[in-house]
Amino acid sequence: MARMTATTLRGATRPLTARQVEAAYKIAKERFAAIGVDTDRAVRAALAVPISVQCWQADDVRGLEVVEGAFDAGGLQATGDYPGAARSGDEIRRDFDHAARWIPGKVRFNIHAMYAETGGKRVERDELEPAHFSRWMDWAAERRLGLDFNPTCFGHPMVMDGLTLSSPRKAVREFWIRHCLACRRVARHMARRFGPCVTNIWIPDGRKDSTVDRWGPRQRLVESLDRVLARRQPGVVDSVESKLFGIGCEDYTVGSHEFYLAYAATRGVVVCFDMGHFHPTESVADKLSSALQFVDRLLLHVSRGVRWDSDHVVRATDEVEAVCDEAVRGKALGRIYWAMDYFDASINRVGAWVIGARALRKALLRAMLEPWELHRRAEYEGRGADKLALLERRDEMPLGAVWDYACHRADVPTGASWLRDLASYEKRVLSRRE
Protein backbone atom coordinates (compact mmCIF):
# COMPACT_ATOMS: atom_id res chain seq x y z
CA MET A 1 0.00 0.00 0.00
CA ALA A 2 1.31 3.44 -0.92
CA ARG A 3 2.36 5.59 2.01
CA MET A 4 0.63 8.96 2.32
CA THR A 5 3.10 11.84 2.36
CA ALA A 6 2.82 15.60 2.38
CA THR A 7 3.80 15.51 -1.28
CA THR A 8 0.99 13.15 -2.26
CA LEU A 9 -1.50 15.20 -0.22
CA ARG A 10 -0.44 18.34 -2.06
CA GLY A 11 -0.81 16.48 -5.32
CA ALA A 12 -4.35 15.40 -4.41
CA THR A 13 -5.39 18.98 -3.72
CA ARG A 14 -3.48 20.64 -6.57
CA PRO A 15 -5.90 22.41 -8.96
CA LEU A 16 -5.96 21.41 -12.58
CA THR A 17 -5.10 24.02 -15.18
CA ALA A 18 -7.70 25.12 -17.68
CA ARG A 19 -5.68 23.41 -20.41
CA GLN A 20 -5.66 20.10 -18.50
CA VAL A 21 -9.40 20.29 -17.86
CA GLU A 22 -10.26 21.09 -21.45
CA ALA A 23 -7.93 18.46 -22.90
CA ALA A 24 -9.42 15.71 -20.73
CA TYR A 25 -12.93 16.93 -21.48
CA LYS A 26 -12.34 16.82 -25.24
CA ILE A 27 -11.52 13.12 -25.04
CA ALA A 28 -14.43 12.41 -22.68
CA LYS A 29 -16.82 14.31 -24.94
CA GLU A 30 -15.83 12.17 -27.90
CA ARG A 31 -16.27 8.94 -25.94
CA PHE A 32 -19.72 9.91 -24.71
CA ALA A 33 -20.74 11.11 -28.18
CA ALA A 34 -19.95 7.62 -29.50
CA ILE A 35 -22.81 6.26 -27.36
CA GLY A 36 -25.19 9.08 -28.18
CA VAL A 37 -24.64 11.38 -25.18
CA ASP A 38 -24.25 15.14 -25.59
CA THR A 39 -21.97 16.15 -22.72
CA ASP A 40 -22.33 19.89 -23.33
CA ARG A 41 -26.08 19.58 -22.90
CA ALA A 42 -25.66 17.42 -19.79
CA VAL A 43 -23.31 19.92 -18.15
CA ARG A 44 -25.66 22.83 -18.81
CA ALA A 45 -28.65 20.91 -17.48
CA ALA A 46 -26.87 19.65 -14.37
CA LEU A 47 -25.64 23.11 -13.40
CA ALA A 48 -29.11 24.59 -13.89
CA VAL A 49 -30.86 22.37 -11.31
CA PRO A 50 -31.41 24.45 -8.13
CA ILE A 51 -30.12 22.79 -4.95
CA SER A 52 -31.42 24.20 -1.68
CA VAL A 53 -28.68 24.16 0.98
CA GLN A 54 -29.64 23.95 4.64
CA CYS A 55 -28.70 26.68 7.13
CA TRP A 56 -28.71 24.28 10.09
CA GLN A 57 -25.50 22.49 9.08
CA ALA A 58 -23.56 25.58 10.16
CA ASP A 59 -24.51 25.49 13.86
CA ASP A 60 -25.72 21.93 14.62
CA VAL A 61 -29.43 22.90 14.56
CA ARG A 62 -29.10 25.25 17.53
CA GLY A 63 -30.92 28.21 16.02
CA LEU A 64 -30.81 31.87 16.99
CA GLU A 65 -33.76 32.17 19.33
CA VAL A 66 -33.63 34.05 22.62
CA VAL A 67 -34.82 31.31 24.98
CA GLU A 68 -34.64 30.30 28.62
CA GLY A 69 -33.61 26.82 29.71
CA ALA A 70 -33.45 23.62 27.67
CA PHE A 71 -36.19 21.43 26.27
CA ASP A 72 -36.83 18.44 24.07
CA ALA A 73 -35.21 18.72 20.65
CA GLY A 74 -37.76 16.40 19.09
CA GLY A 75 -35.32 13.58 18.47
CA LEU A 76 -32.78 15.74 16.63
CA GLN A 77 -29.20 15.21 17.66
CA ALA A 78 -26.04 16.55 16.05
CA THR A 79 -23.08 14.50 17.25
CA GLY A 80 -19.49 15.68 17.49
CA ASP A 81 -17.67 18.72 18.82
CA TYR A 82 -15.54 19.90 15.91
CA PRO A 83 -14.50 23.50 16.58
CA GLY A 84 -15.92 26.44 14.66
CA ALA A 85 -19.70 26.17 14.86
CA ALA A 86 -21.45 29.38 13.83
CA ARG A 87 -22.86 31.39 16.75
CA SER A 88 -24.91 34.03 14.94
CA GLY A 89 -26.72 34.74 11.71
CA ASP A 90 -23.76 36.80 10.53
CA GLU A 91 -21.42 33.87 11.05
CA ILE A 92 -23.75 31.45 9.26
CA ARG A 93 -23.98 33.83 6.32
CA ARG A 94 -20.23 34.37 6.26
CA ASP A 95 -19.59 30.63 6.33
CA PHE A 96 -22.02 30.00 3.49
CA ASP A 97 -20.51 32.79 1.43
CA HIS A 98 -17.27 30.81 1.52
CA ALA A 99 -18.97 27.46 0.89
CA ALA A 100 -20.84 28.84 -2.12
CA ARG A 101 -17.52 29.68 -3.79
CA TRP A 102 -16.80 25.95 -4.02
CA ILE A 103 -20.26 24.66 -5.04
CA PRO A 104 -20.95 24.57 -8.79
CA GLY A 105 -24.33 25.39 -10.24
CA LYS A 106 -27.47 27.10 -9.03
CA VAL A 107 -28.05 27.11 -5.27
CA ARG A 108 -30.78 28.26 -2.93
CA PHE A 109 -30.71 28.69 0.85
CA ASN A 110 -33.08 26.96 3.24
CA ILE A 111 -33.95 28.62 6.56
CA HIS A 112 -35.74 27.25 9.63
CA ALA A 113 -38.00 29.52 11.66
CA MET A 114 -35.71 29.11 14.69
CA TYR A 115 -33.15 31.24 12.84
CA ALA A 116 -35.20 34.41 13.27
CA GLU A 117 -33.12 37.46 14.20
CA THR A 118 -35.11 39.44 16.75
CA GLY A 119 -32.59 42.00 17.96
CA GLY A 120 -32.03 40.26 21.29
CA LYS A 121 -35.72 40.17 22.20
CA ARG A 122 -37.69 37.01 22.82
CA VAL A 123 -40.37 36.55 20.19
CA GLU A 124 -42.68 33.56 20.39
CA ARG A 125 -42.82 31.36 17.34
CA ASP A 126 -46.48 32.07 16.71
CA GLU A 127 -45.65 35.78 16.54
CA LEU A 128 -42.87 35.63 13.93
CA GLU A 129 -43.03 38.21 11.15
CA PRO A 130 -41.14 38.83 7.90
CA ALA A 131 -39.14 41.58 9.65
CA HIS A 132 -37.47 38.93 11.81
CA PHE A 133 -35.91 37.50 8.64
CA SER A 134 -35.10 40.76 6.88
CA ARG A 135 -31.33 40.33 7.25
CA TRP A 136 -31.55 36.90 5.65
CA MET A 137 -33.57 38.32 2.77
CA ASP A 138 -31.27 41.29 2.21
CA TRP A 139 -28.27 38.95 2.17
CA ALA A 140 -29.98 36.60 -0.28
CA ALA A 141 -30.94 39.50 -2.55
CA GLU A 142 -27.33 40.69 -2.72
CA ARG A 143 -26.20 37.21 -3.75
CA ARG A 144 -29.19 36.45 -5.99
CA LEU A 145 -30.11 33.40 -3.96
CA GLY A 146 -33.56 31.90 -3.78
CA LEU A 147 -34.90 31.20 -0.30
CA ASP A 148 -36.87 28.30 1.16
CA PHE A 149 -38.40 28.22 4.62
CA ASN A 150 -39.55 25.79 7.32
CA PRO A 151 -41.68 26.04 10.45
CA THR A 152 -39.73 24.80 13.47
CA CYS A 153 -42.04 22.38 15.27
CA PHE A 154 -39.47 21.03 17.71
CA GLY A 155 -37.12 22.25 20.44
CA HIS A 156 -39.76 24.26 22.29
CA PRO A 157 -41.71 24.01 25.58
CA MET A 158 -44.96 23.66 23.62
CA VAL A 159 -43.81 20.28 22.32
CA MET A 160 -45.74 18.46 25.04
CA ASP A 161 -45.55 14.69 25.44
CA GLY A 162 -43.73 14.62 22.13
CA LEU A 163 -46.74 16.04 20.25
CA THR A 164 -47.47 19.28 18.37
CA LEU A 165 -50.15 19.50 15.65
CA SER A 166 -51.58 16.14 16.71
CA SER A 167 -51.69 16.84 20.44
CA PRO A 168 -54.91 16.07 22.35
CA ARG A 169 -54.37 19.41 24.11
CA LYS A 170 -56.17 22.12 22.19
CA ALA A 171 -53.84 24.87 23.43
CA VAL A 172 -50.83 22.98 22.07
CA ARG A 173 -52.42 22.39 18.69
CA GLU A 174 -53.54 26.01 18.43
CA PHE A 175 -50.04 27.28 19.20
CA TRP A 176 -48.47 25.20 16.46
CA ILE A 177 -51.22 26.06 13.98
CA ARG A 178 -50.52 29.74 14.62
CA HIS A 179 -46.80 29.10 14.21
CA CYS A 180 -47.26 27.38 10.85
CA LEU A 181 -49.57 30.14 9.66
CA ALA A 182 -47.02 32.76 10.71
CA CYS A 183 -44.32 30.88 8.80
CA ARG A 184 -46.41 30.75 5.66
CA ARG A 185 -46.82 34.52 5.86
CA VAL A 186 -43.04 34.87 6.13
CA ALA A 187 -42.66 32.53 3.16
CA ARG A 188 -45.14 34.58 1.14
CA HIS A 189 -42.99 37.65 1.77
CA MET A 190 -39.89 35.74 0.63
CA ALA A 191 -41.73 34.55 -2.47
CA ARG A 192 -42.61 38.11 -3.41
CA ARG A 193 -38.90 38.98 -3.45
CA PHE A 194 -37.33 35.80 -4.75
CA GLY A 195 -39.97 33.72 -6.49
CA PRO A 196 -41.48 30.41 -5.30
CA CYS A 197 -40.55 29.51 -1.72
CA VAL A 198 -40.75 25.86 -0.69
CA THR A 199 -42.20 25.76 2.83
CA ASN A 200 -41.90 22.34 4.39
CA ILE A 201 -43.74 21.15 7.51
CA TRP A 202 -42.15 18.39 9.57
CA ILE A 203 -43.31 17.49 13.06
CA PRO A 204 -41.72 15.04 15.54
CA ASP A 205 -45.06 13.70 16.82
CA GLY A 206 -45.11 10.08 17.88
CA ARG A 207 -45.04 7.56 20.71
CA LYS A 208 -42.20 5.55 22.19
CA ASP A 209 -43.82 2.18 22.85
CA SER A 210 -46.94 0.05 22.29
CA THR A 211 -49.27 2.75 20.99
CA VAL A 212 -52.94 1.82 21.37
CA ASP A 213 -54.55 4.91 19.83
CA ARG A 214 -53.15 5.41 16.35
CA TRP A 215 -56.38 6.93 15.03
CA GLY A 216 -56.85 9.97 17.24
CA PRO A 217 -53.50 11.71 16.59
CA ARG A 218 -53.83 11.25 12.84
CA GLN A 219 -57.36 12.60 12.80
CA ARG A 220 -56.19 15.64 14.76
CA LEU A 221 -53.21 16.10 12.43
CA VAL A 222 -55.49 16.14 9.40
CA GLU A 223 -57.67 18.78 11.05
CA SER A 224 -54.66 20.90 12.04
CA LEU A 225 -53.04 20.72 8.61
CA ASP A 226 -56.32 21.55 6.91
CA ARG A 227 -56.54 24.72 8.95
CA VAL A 228 -52.92 25.65 8.27
CA LEU A 229 -53.28 25.07 4.52
CA ALA A 230 -56.87 26.24 4.06
CA ARG A 231 -55.81 29.36 2.22
CA ARG A 232 -53.15 29.24 -0.46
CA GLN A 233 -50.40 31.83 -0.20
CA PRO A 234 -49.16 33.17 -3.55
CA GLY A 235 -45.70 31.85 -4.32
CA VAL A 236 -45.60 29.51 -1.33
CA VAL A 237 -44.97 25.87 -2.25
CA ASP A 238 -46.47 23.94 0.69
CA SER A 239 -44.87 20.61 1.53
CA VAL A 240 -45.36 17.92 4.20
CA GLU A 241 -42.63 15.52 5.31
CA SER A 242 -42.94 11.99 6.63
CA LYS A 243 -40.67 9.92 8.83
CA LEU A 244 -40.43 6.25 9.73
CA PHE A 245 -39.41 6.72 13.37
CA GLY A 246 -37.36 8.93 15.64
CA ILE A 247 -35.71 9.03 19.03
CA GLY A 248 -38.62 8.90 21.48
CA CYS A 249 -41.14 7.79 18.84
CA GLU A 250 -39.79 4.39 17.91
CA ASP A 251 -43.17 2.64 17.96
CA TYR A 252 -45.41 5.15 16.19
CA THR A 253 -44.93 8.22 14.04
CA VAL A 254 -48.10 10.19 13.40
CA GLY A 255 -46.89 11.67 10.10
CA SER A 256 -46.00 8.40 8.40
CA HIS A 257 -45.16 7.97 4.71
CA GLU A 258 -48.63 6.65 3.91
CA PHE A 259 -50.28 9.47 5.84
CA TYR A 260 -48.49 12.29 4.07
CA LEU A 261 -48.54 10.74 0.61
CA ALA A 262 -52.32 10.38 0.84
CA TYR A 263 -52.64 13.85 2.35
CA ALA A 264 -50.59 15.45 -0.43
CA ALA A 265 -52.48 13.60 -3.15
CA THR A 266 -55.87 14.71 -1.80
CA ARG A 267 -54.96 18.26 -0.79
CA GLY A 268 -52.82 19.29 -3.75
CA VAL A 269 -49.65 19.97 -1.77
CA VAL A 270 -46.11 18.67 -2.22
CA VAL A 271 -44.94 15.56 -0.40
CA CYS A 272 -41.38 15.48 0.92
CA PHE A 273 -39.28 12.32 0.79
CA ASP A 274 -36.29 12.55 3.12
CA MET A 275 -33.81 9.86 2.15
CA GLY A 276 -33.08 9.11 5.80
CA HIS A 277 -36.73 8.77 6.81
CA PHE A 278 -37.31 5.26 5.51
CA HIS A 279 -36.20 1.77 6.44
CA PRO A 280 -32.58 1.16 5.33
CA THR A 281 -33.76 -1.57 2.93
CA GLU A 282 -36.31 0.69 1.20
CA SER A 283 -35.47 2.38 -2.08
CA VAL A 284 -36.48 6.02 -2.24
CA ALA A 285 -35.60 5.95 -5.94
CA ASP A 286 -38.29 3.32 -6.53
CA LYS A 287 -40.91 5.57 -4.92
CA LEU A 288 -40.52 8.39 -7.47
CA SER A 289 -42.22 6.66 -10.39
CA SER A 290 -45.12 5.65 -8.13
CA ALA A 291 -45.72 8.88 -6.24
CA LEU A 292 -45.41 11.12 -9.29
CA GLN A 293 -48.31 9.28 -10.91
CA PHE A 294 -50.57 10.84 -8.27
CA VAL A 295 -48.92 14.03 -7.02
CA ASP A 296 -47.71 16.85 -9.20
CA ARG A 297 -44.41 17.53 -7.44
CA LEU A 298 -42.02 16.15 -4.85
CA LEU A 299 -39.54 17.67 -2.44
CA LEU A 300 -36.46 15.51 -1.94
CA HIS A 301 -34.38 15.96 1.20
CA VAL A 302 -31.09 14.39 0.24
CA SER A 303 -29.45 12.89 3.30
CA ARG A 304 -27.36 9.84 4.21
CA GLY A 305 -28.51 7.58 6.98
CA VAL A 306 -26.08 5.03 8.36
CA ARG A 307 -28.19 2.24 9.89
CA TRP A 308 -30.79 4.83 10.97
CA ASP A 309 -31.78 8.43 10.25
CA SER A 310 -28.35 9.71 11.28
CA ASP A 311 -28.10 12.62 8.83
CA HIS A 312 -24.54 11.91 7.72
CA VAL A 313 -23.01 14.23 5.13
CA VAL A 314 -24.24 13.36 1.66
CA ARG A 315 -21.91 11.52 -0.68
CA ALA A 316 -22.55 10.24 -4.20
CA THR A 317 -23.64 6.85 -2.89
CA ASP A 318 -25.58 4.21 -4.81
CA GLU A 319 -28.79 5.50 -3.21
CA VAL A 320 -28.20 9.11 -4.27
CA GLU A 321 -27.17 8.08 -7.77
CA ALA A 322 -30.28 5.86 -8.08
CA VAL A 323 -32.58 8.74 -7.10
CA CYS A 324 -30.94 11.00 -9.68
CA ASP A 325 -31.15 8.28 -12.33
CA GLU A 326 -34.87 7.84 -11.76
CA ALA A 327 -35.54 11.57 -11.85
CA VAL A 328 -33.73 11.96 -15.18
CA ARG A 329 -35.11 8.77 -16.74
CA GLY A 330 -38.65 9.85 -15.90
CA LYS A 331 -38.09 13.40 -17.20
CA ALA A 332 -39.12 14.52 -13.73
CA LEU A 333 -36.35 17.01 -12.90
CA GLY A 334 -38.79 19.89 -13.27
CA ARG A 335 -41.20 18.21 -10.84
CA ILE A 336 -38.70 17.72 -8.03
CA TYR A 337 -37.37 20.27 -5.56
CA TRP A 338 -33.86 19.23 -4.52
CA ALA A 339 -32.72 20.10 -1.00
CA MET A 340 -29.99 19.01 1.42
CA ASP A 341 -30.85 17.92 4.94
CA TYR A 342 -28.08 16.77 7.26
CA PHE A 343 -26.15 18.14 10.22
CA ASP A 344 -22.74 16.79 11.15
CA ALA A 345 -20.83 18.33 14.05
CA SER A 346 -17.91 15.90 13.79
CA ILE A 347 -16.15 17.51 10.81
CA ASN A 348 -15.54 20.99 9.46
CA ARG A 349 -19.10 22.25 8.97
CA VAL A 350 -18.33 24.44 5.96
CA GLY A 351 -16.63 21.48 4.33
CA ALA A 352 -19.71 19.36 5.06
CA TRP A 353 -21.88 21.80 3.10
CA VAL A 354 -19.54 21.66 0.11
CA ILE A 355 -19.09 17.88 0.10
CA GLY A 356 -22.84 17.25 0.17
CA ALA A 357 -23.85 19.80 -2.45
CA ARG A 358 -21.05 18.82 -4.82
CA ALA A 359 -21.92 15.13 -4.42
CA LEU A 360 -25.56 15.72 -5.35
CA ARG A 361 -24.60 17.90 -8.31
CA LYS A 362 -22.17 15.24 -9.55
CA ALA A 363 -24.83 12.52 -9.19
CA LEU A 364 -27.24 14.63 -11.23
CA LEU A 365 -24.60 15.07 -13.92
CA ARG A 366 -23.89 11.33 -13.94
CA ALA A 367 -27.60 10.64 -14.47
CA MET A 368 -27.69 13.05 -17.40
CA LEU A 369 -24.75 11.26 -19.03
CA GLU A 370 -26.55 7.92 -19.18
CA PRO A 371 -27.35 6.51 -22.64
CA TRP A 372 -30.70 5.48 -21.24
CA GLU A 373 -32.37 4.75 -24.56
CA LEU A 374 -29.76 2.06 -25.25
CA HIS A 375 -30.47 0.48 -21.86
CA ARG A 376 -34.23 0.74 -22.27
CA ARG A 377 -34.21 -0.76 -25.75
CA ALA A 378 -32.20 -3.73 -24.56
CA GLU A 379 -34.65 -4.23 -21.70
CA TYR A 380 -37.75 -4.11 -23.91
CA GLU A 381 -36.21 -6.42 -26.48
CA GLY A 382 -35.42 -9.00 -23.82
CA ARG A 383 -31.65 -8.64 -24.16
CA GLY A 384 -30.92 -8.77 -20.46
CA ALA A 385 -27.23 -9.53 -20.86
CA ASP A 386 -26.80 -6.54 -23.16
CA LYS A 387 -28.57 -4.29 -20.67
CA LEU A 388 -26.37 -5.35 -17.75
CA ALA A 389 -23.20 -5.11 -19.82
CA LEU A 390 -24.14 -1.61 -20.98
CA LEU A 391 -24.85 -0.56 -17.39
CA GLU A 392 -21.40 -1.83 -16.42
CA ARG A 393 -19.90 0.02 -19.35
CA ARG A 394 -21.50 3.23 -18.13
CA ASP A 395 -19.44 3.05 -14.94
CA GLU A 396 -16.27 2.83 -17.01
CA MET A 397 -16.97 6.08 -18.85
CA PRO A 398 -14.92 9.17 -17.89
CA LEU A 399 -17.38 10.94 -15.59
CA GLY A 400 -14.53 12.63 -13.71
CA ALA A 401 -13.34 14.55 -16.76
CA VAL A 402 -16.85 15.84 -17.45
CA TRP A 403 -17.33 16.75 -13.78
CA ASP A 404 -14.06 18.69 -13.75
CA TYR A 405 -15.23 20.55 -16.85
CA ALA A 406 -18.58 21.36 -15.19
CA CYS A 407 -16.74 22.80 -12.19
CA HIS A 408 -14.41 24.74 -14.49
CA ARG A 409 -17.38 26.11 -16.44
CA ALA A 410 -19.04 27.15 -13.16
CA ASP A 411 -15.81 28.87 -12.05
CA VAL A 412 -15.36 26.74 -8.94
CA PRO A 413 -12.34 24.58 -7.97
CA THR A 414 -11.90 21.18 -9.58
CA GLY A 415 -11.28 17.98 -7.67
CA ALA A 416 -10.29 18.43 -4.03
CA SER A 417 -8.34 21.63 -4.62
CA TRP A 418 -10.93 23.59 -2.63
CA LEU A 419 -9.61 21.90 0.52
CA ARG A 420 -6.67 24.32 0.49
CA ASP A 421 -9.01 27.30 0.78
CA LEU A 422 -11.04 25.47 3.42
CA ALA A 423 -7.92 24.93 5.54
CA SER A 424 -7.08 28.62 5.26
CA TYR A 425 -10.61 29.65 6.28
CA GLU A 426 -10.56 27.28 9.23
CA LYS A 427 -7.26 28.72 10.45
CA ARG A 428 -8.26 32.36 9.95
CA VAL A 429 -11.90 32.23 11.07
CA LEU A 430 -13.32 28.99 12.43
CA SER A 431 -10.51 28.14 14.84
CA ARG A 432 -10.97 31.47 16.63
CA ARG A 433 -14.56 30.75 17.63
CA GLU A 434 -15.08 29.52 21.16
Q: Which of 65, 148, 241, 404 is catalytic?
A: 241
Give which of 406, 409, 310 is closest to 364, Cα–Cα: 406
Q: Which of 59, 205, 238, 341 is catalytic?
A: 341
Q: Among this protein's residues, is 309 annotated catalytic? A: yes
> What is the spatial distance between Cα 191 and Cα 267, in angstroms, rounded to a whole number?
21
Q: Which of 274, 321, 370, 404 is catalytic?
A: 274
Q: Among this protein's residues, is 139 annotated catalytic? A: no
Residues paired with residue 51 on neighbouring β-strands, in sequence order: 107, 338
Q: Which of 29, 179, 243, 312 is catalytic?
A: 243
Q: Which amino acid is at 52?
A: S
Q: Among this protein's residues, is 22 annotated catalytic? A: no
- Interacting residues of 390 by C-beta distance below 8 A, sequence separation 6+: 371, 374, 375, 378
Q: Which of 311, 319, 321, 325 is catalytic?
A: 311
Q: Among this protein's residues, is 132 annotated catalytic? A: no
DSSP H helices in 280-417: 284-291, 318-329, 349-368, 372-380, 384-394, 399-409
**Total residues belonging to the chain:** 434
Q: Which of 132, 156, 257, 277 is catalytic?
A: 277
Under 8 Å between Cβ of 299 and 274:
no
Q: Among this protein's residues, is 408 annotated catalytic? A: no
DSSP H helices in 80-205: 89-100, 134-143, 170-194
Handedness of CA 266, 272, 278, 283 (dihedral sign): positive
Q: Which of 309, 325, 344, 370 is catalytic?
A: 309
Q: Which residues are catalytic?
A: 202, 241, 243, 274, 277, 301, 309, 311, 341
